[in-house]
Amino acid sequence: MQRVDQLTDREVQVLDAIIQLYIETAEPAGSQAVARRSNLGISPASIRATMAELESRGYLFHPHTSSGRVPTDLAYRLYVNRLIRRAPPSERERERLESEVASGGPIEEILRRAAEVLGVLAQELGVAVAPAFDGAILERLDLAHLSTDRLLVVLTLQSGLVRTIFVEMPSAVAPEVVEHVARILNERLAGLSLAEIKASVGERLRDADGTGKATALLNVFVAESEEVFDLRVEGGEVLLGSAQPLAGQPEFASKDRIRGLIALTERRDLLKRAFDAHRKRGLTITIGTENEDPRLADFTLVTASYRRGGLTGVLGVLGPTRMPYDKIVGLVDHTSRLVEGLLQ
């Protein structure tokens, strides 16, 4: 008889039926309900024996207030790895995503809308993490006089992002000197990532063909490289949809659980670490105790990374381990590809 993770066909079918029932009802699954659901043609007594075996092997647990069984994280992991029936978004869901997300704007605004509508469609908490920009490639650097001793620096990145910053000059510098310095900076720095520039700008400009005022201005860029070429304050922001859909789940019926959920949404640092761990891993599902932070032990994260030029970010949903994985995986995957297409 075929085995899945050392389970027999009957055990797999019974476990599949229990998971589906629990996802749909949020109630422990009893043998009578499983018999009706599984269509195995076996008696409830035989199903009870199979359920007892699955419980002994860590796939189910038995709440003391009920004769039914509830799937464990191990059961959900087997389901996700071997049994999931991924459902693509419906036409209505695709139309809503495209109409609400694809209206343009800055990256952060696109991601904010994506997190919001994804959470509503999935009935979970939608989360998006904006790209961390250290990996962005500098395409062009422009300098413009604002006053005799102040410059506007415009960094254009290959991803299409533009960063502006003001730089104070040590003394008045003629326009032709500013143009000369801009040419040197583009020759030496264009095509490098911001992280590479910050790490090596002094060495790259050391023998630059500049004298007098040009050398003094180049030294300003070396001395202030951490500020000029740093986008960390703008990248990696955690953007949340509404927590209302998630709060409506049976898992959050008690006041204590609602307070815990609210506290979790206020811990942007915790959510950022959890979602950042998925940044370069494609479509990822982390279930309950698989999460590194014990405060997420009751939650599943379904995420997908997106890419814009040299930048990567991640979006997805956070919800209880009892979630309709088939539907949510399809929604998250479709949304990430939609966002990626918009950002290109």
Render pLDDT for 9-20 as a digit per residue (tens, 0 to 9).
Answer: 889 999 999 999
Confidence of residue 2 (pLDDT cuts 50, 70, 90): very low
Last residue of a domain, one of 183, 209, 228: 228
What does the angle CA 281 – CA 274 – CA 79 come to, to the nearest 5 degrees?
Answer: 65
Provide the 8-state DSSP code for 82.
I
- The first and second tokens of residue 121, run together, are 């469609």
- The first and second tokens of residue 177, run together, are 């000197």
Distance CA 94, CA 229 (A): 38
Query: Has residue 3 been placed in a domain?
Result: no
Considering the domain architecture, whether residues 222 and 140 belong to the same structural domain is answered as yes
Over range 318-335, report the average pLDDT: 95
What distance lies between CA 44 and its chain's CA centroid? 43
Beta bridge mates, 165: 153
Query: Has residue 177 been placed in a domain?
Result: yes
User: How would you write 226-286 as a 3-class SS string?
Assistant: HHHCCCCCCCCCEEECCCHHHHCCHHHCCHHHHHHHHHHHCCHHHHHHHHHCCCCCCEEEE
Considering the domain architecture, whether residues 77 and 39 belong to the same structural domain is answered as yes
Most distant CA pair in the chain, distance: 93
- Is 252's pLDDT higher than 70? yes
Considering the domain architecture, whether residues 269 and 239 belong to the same structural domain is answered as yes
- Is 208's pLDDT higher than 80? no
Considering the domain architecture, whether residues 259 and 338 belong to the same structural domain is answered as yes
- The first and second tokens of residue 159, run together, are 């991803």
Q: What dihedral do alpha carbons 102, 107, 112, 114 form, nearest 10°?
A: 40
Query: Has residue 144 been placed in a domain?
Result: yes
Render pLDDT for 305-317 as a digit per residue (tens, 0 to 9).
Answer: 887 766 778 999 9
Query: Has residue 140 been placed in a domain?
Result: yes
Query: Has residue 1 been placed in a domain?
Result: no
Residue with tokens 């998925």: 278
Render pLDDT for 106-116 as a digit per residue (tens, 0 to 9).
Answer: 777 888 999 99
Query: Has residue 199 been placed in a domain?
Result: yes
Query: Has residue 2 been placed in a domain?
Result: no
Render pLDDT for 14-58 as a digit per residue (tens, 0 to 9).
Answer: 999 999 999 999 999 999 889 887 777 888 899 999 999 999 999
Residue type, 262: I
Q: Which of 118, 222, 208 lies closest to 167, judged by CA?
A: 222
Considering the domain architecture, whether residues 117 and 251 belong to the same structural domain is answered as yes
Considering the domain architecture, whether residues 154 and 28 belong to the same structural domain is answered as no
Considering the domain architecture, whether residues 126 and 240 belong to the same structural domain is answered as yes
Residue with tokens 């007892």: 52
Q: Which of 182, 154, 150 lies closest to 168, judged by CA?
A: 150
> What is residue 42's predicted lDDT score, i.e. its pLDDT?
85
Considering the domain architecture, whether residues 160 and 67 belong to the same structural domain is answered as no
For all residues of the chain together, what is the average pLDDT?
A: 86
Last residue of a domain, one of 171, 193, 228: 228
Over range 269-286, report the average pLDDT: 85
Considering the domain architecture, whether residues 120 and 256 belong to the same structural domain is answered as yes
Distance CA 48, CA 255 (A): 34
Domain with residue 195: its CATH number is 3.30.390.60
Split into its structural domains, the chain has a count of 3
Last residue of a domain, one of 194, 228, 262: 228
Domain with residue 289: its CATH number is 3.30.450.40
Considering the domain architecture, whether residues 76 and 39 belong to the same structural domain is answered as yes
Whole-number Cα distances in Å, 12 to 73, 313, 321, 327: 15, 36, 19, 21
Considering the domain architecture, whether residues 224 and 141 belong to the same structural domain is answered as yes
- Segments forming the whole domain that contains residue 199: 134-228
Considering the domain architecture, whether residues 242 and 329 belong to the same structural domain is answered as yes
Distance CA 32, CA 51 (A): 12
Whether residue 304 contacts residue 275, with contact meaning beta carbons closer than 8 Å, is answered with: no
> What is residue 5's predicted lDDT score, i.e. its pLDDT?
64
Whether residue 29 contacts residue 17, with contact meaning beta carbons closer than 8 Å, is answered with: yes
Query: Has residue 304 been placed in a domain?
Result: yes
